[in-house]
Amino acid sequence: MSIKVHRGLEQTGGCITEISTATSRVFIDFGQNLPGNGECTTPEQDKLMVENIFKNNLKVHEAVFYSHGHEDHVGLFEYIPLHVPQYMSEGTKELLLLKYRTLREGAELCIEQLRSDETFAKEQYNEAIAQRENAIKKIKLLSRINTWSRTDPHKAPSPIIIGNITITPFFNCHSIYDSYMFLIEADGTRIWHTGDYRAHGYMGKGLFPTLNKYAKNIDTLIIEGTMLNRNDKCIHECKVSNKMANVMKAFKYVFVLASATDIERLASIKNAASEAKKTLYICSKFMASTMKLFTKRESERSHGLFDFSPRMIRHNILERVKKKGFVLIAGTSQISRVEKYLKELPIEETLLIYSSWEGYYTIPEQIAVNPNYKKFRELFNNIVDIHTSGHADKETIKKVIDIVKPKNTILIHKEKGAVL
């Protein structure tokens, strides 16, 4: 087998890795570039790049596999030729369908509101139409994508055959639901691709046992190195939850900025709110949908850890709920709603727990692309950062390499110049 990293050797995200034999090839991820990491590309440039990768292909068999649902790994799925099979986990597909259905509904609501306003701007209307059509297109494309099911922890997952290549997905822990590693086998060669992973999440306890059991006689380890240039010592999600609970007890009104797709962080917040004896609220339909999905798929398996039943907060009930205090999880897309809520609350009794990567509000390139993280923080006087990375720290990366003992190692998904 041969390995070609089209993108991701000297940048975080935007990953595209090709593994091929004489007759077959598979790709692991087709991701968008992240702002501030690698060369910035337009959608037109990305589409052309994908077309160039697939044109004049001489392989008889080919397919694309996605490790998880973050845009820097799956964001270019819409450009893959229709004749090329694509694979992702059931959980990833459901999560992406929720995302684009929510975007479609939001665009349709915007269109209705604009139509009822005789003074609406045509540009704004056309933009909403384009957003709706784009969401509909992606929903249709996602419906064609093949899926694999997550196996029970003590069972070997089922392999998928692409020509003379065998690829087996192994569940791992990351800051988005249903993430995977891959074992790729062909021509007597074994390659292990980690995807994005960590050991310090609730579901991270299976990482080392999985590697010890299945990652044997590995010729090449393709491993992500996001944290190699960072000195952060990652804490476990349990500690994240404990820290949150402590500060929640000190303030009556607590807002938490967190991702709707990070099942483990949502569980940490839920547990912290319970420990602080505060009612948990959300204000996002998308977050309500993801929590419902997580509960359906994971509540029983997790013995209730991932069982979510938050209340939806609305402005007309704020006066009633603010008497007791609350914890409200929100994303940056709810910034205008949160700003309205804050006008009704005493600022000295209100806290923001910022539970996302600090780079979103400190790195100029990140701020330029999405200024709402910084703007969200600026709404509050009292702020505390409580977060842990969705990626393995340097110590874990070294431990993985030590367990696998590969003949060769390829570092991807890392900052430029980062080394072990």
Domains of the chain: 2-229+393-412 (3.60.15.10), 237-385 (3.40.50.10710)
Angstrom distance (rounded) from CA 74 to CA 417 = 25
Low-confidence ranges of the chain (pLDDT < 50): none
The confidence score (pLDDT) of residue 118 equals 72
Give, for 189, the enclosing helix (H) or strand (E).
strand 189-193
Separation in Å, CA 114 to CA 108, 109, 129, 299, 368: 10, 9, 11, 40, 28
Whose CA is closest to 220, among 180, 184, 167?
A: 184
Place of tokens 């804490």: 235
192-215 burial code (b ≥16 CB/10 A, e <16): bbbbbbbbbbbbbeebeebbeebb
pLDDT of residue 417: 87
Model confidence, pTM: 0.96
Backbone angles phi, psi at 268, to 5 degrees: -60, -40
Residue with tokens 């099979």: 85
Q: What's the CA gap between 69 and 50, in Å, rounded?
A: 19
What is the sign of the dihedral through the CA atoms of 335, 338, 344 and 350? negative
Choose among 17, 387, 11: nearest CA to 228: 11
* In contact, 70 and 176? CB cutoff 8 Å: yes
* φ/ψ bin of 350: left (φ > 0), alpha (ψ from -120 to 50), beta (otherwise): beta
Q: Decide if 329 contacts 258 (C-beta within 8 A).
A: yes
